[in-house]
Amino acid sequence: MSSNHDTDIVIAGGGLAGATLALALARCVPELRVTVVESFPLSAQALPDCYQPSYDARSTALAWGSRLIFDQLGLWSRLAEHATPIRHIHVSDRGHFGATRLHASDHQQEALGYVADNRWMGLCLVRELLETGVSWRAPAAVTGMEPRQDGVRVFVGEGRGDGEDGGSEALTAQCLVIADGGRSGLREKLGFRVNQQAYGQHALIANVSTSKHHDNTAYERFTDAGPMALLPHGPTGQGESTSALVWTLDSETLDDLLARNDAEKCRRLQARFGWRLGRFIHIGECSHYPLTLQTVDESVRPGVVLVGNAAHTLHPVAGQGFNLALRGLMALVEQLQRAASQGQPLGSLAVLNRYQAHHRQDWKQTVQFSDSLIEIFGQSMPVAAAARDIGLTGLDLLPGAKRWFGRKAMGLGGRRPGISPATSGQREPAGNKP
């Protein structure tokens, strides 16, 4: 778009957020030149021809609103091949009577959301990107940037960016999008202020099989030791059912649990979760993450914008992190599309501030929604427990409140960006493909 620059937009990080943004730009503003820099190696030859879901595959809960976005980007039918619909959500408080149930049919939709394999999502995104004009540098890392009068100069190191891999080059661009994840080295390097609130807990992630079918139900269960979620994962076949577990635990309990064999892990899980899914038969490979709420005060500066986990990391039990990121990406694409059509510099503060202003309310509300679920349900005092019971029962009985809660869980209710994928004029695939 601008011949004064090597490229129009550099995206640092080709994870779920960076790759989705690249695809959305390729679809909606095909005249822009987009370069994705990703530290992990990526090669077209390395992409498997067919995908076999594994029992241990990690997954993400996509809200209904995220399905609509992927539909708009022409990716949903492919993603749906390995996505399990969530038709019901059951929220309960262990040891108390309150509970609320949400049903897709109450919202006249086929699902409230979906559980999609992360690896499958990554594969679909990369395959689709190969058909666009987006260029990739991988393995390579953005190591820094310098503001310029008309944009930015971005430093790209070959290899994983640890200085051991030799050469580096400077790319000029109108704008740098930082999508390098929750531990964003670039965010730190550029001095963006980060607010961190440690929950003092860890999330244990694993897939579990149960004797009772999940019936496409996502369970969010709050216990005195922390919240847990069990999401339907995989088709419900005869006599088997798999759910994706997110279980919050303090460090001591986590260490103790990890030292146990699978049968004992299942027994402890049973004691925590109860029998709604029948007997826990098997638990797969366990991974774990320390939990923090991480947000930035400002996500834009002239020529630079933070997206995805680099901008916010939420508690995974509410399953909102990527869904929020996706809505933010679409809000950014909307403003970049508008700026491009009006010939405005893409990295100008006016353009990026407009993006921030449009996304801020959704961002604030979702962070609050997610955090307050954990705060409210993390209290073990009797008064708080009684308030929760009343709250959950009230939510179940009050159609208006329940509908609001349902729309929040579905990733709806906020402003929807007015982006329009272009139907023609897509770029020829560029030469430097993975």
Ligand X SMILES: Cc1cc2nc3c(=O)[nH]c(=O)nc-3n(C[C@H](O)[C@H](O)[C@H](O)COP(=O)(O)OP(=O)(O)OC[C@H]3O[C@@H](n4cnc5c(N)ncnc54)[C@H](O)[C@@H]3O)c2cc1C
Give yes or no for residue 367 binding ligand X (CB under 6 A). Answer: no
Give yes or no for residue 329 binding ligand X (CB under 6 A). Answer: no
Give yes or no for residue 203 binding ligand X (CB under 6 A). Answer: yes
Give yes or no for residue 9 binding ligand X (CB under 6 A). Answer: no
Question: Contact with ligand X (CB under 6 A): which of 85, 284, 302, 308?
Answer: 308
Give yes or no for residue 232 binding ligand X (CB under 6 A). Answer: no
Q: C-beta of 37: minimal distance to ligand X in Å? A: 5
- Site residues for ligand X, 43-82, by CB under 6 A, read 60-61
Q: Which is nearer to ligand X, 14 or 98 (CB)?
A: 14
Question: Contact with ligand X (CB under 6 A): which of 5, 10, 15, 359?
Answer: 15
Residue with tokens 């955090």: 371
Give yes or no for residue 289 binding ligand X (CB under 6 A). Answer: yes
Question: Contact with ligand X (CB under 6 A): which of 32, 125, 325, 419?
Answer: 325
Give yes or no for residue 121 binding ligand X (CB under 6 A). Answer: no
Give yes or no for residue 39 binding ligand X (CB under 6 A). Answer: yes
Give yes or no for residue 176 binding ligand X (CB under 6 A). Answer: no
* Window of 8-16, 22-30, 207-215, 339-347 that interacts with ligand X by CB under 6 A: 8-16
Give yes or no for residue 347 binding ligand X (CB under 6 A). Answer: no
Count interface residues toward ligand X (CB under 6 A).
Answer: 34
The strand pairing partners of 210, in sequence order, are 280
- Interface residues with ligand X (CB under 6 A) are 12-18, 37-40, 60-61, 141-142, 161, 179-181, 185-186, 203, 205, 246, 289, 308-309, 316, 319-323, 325
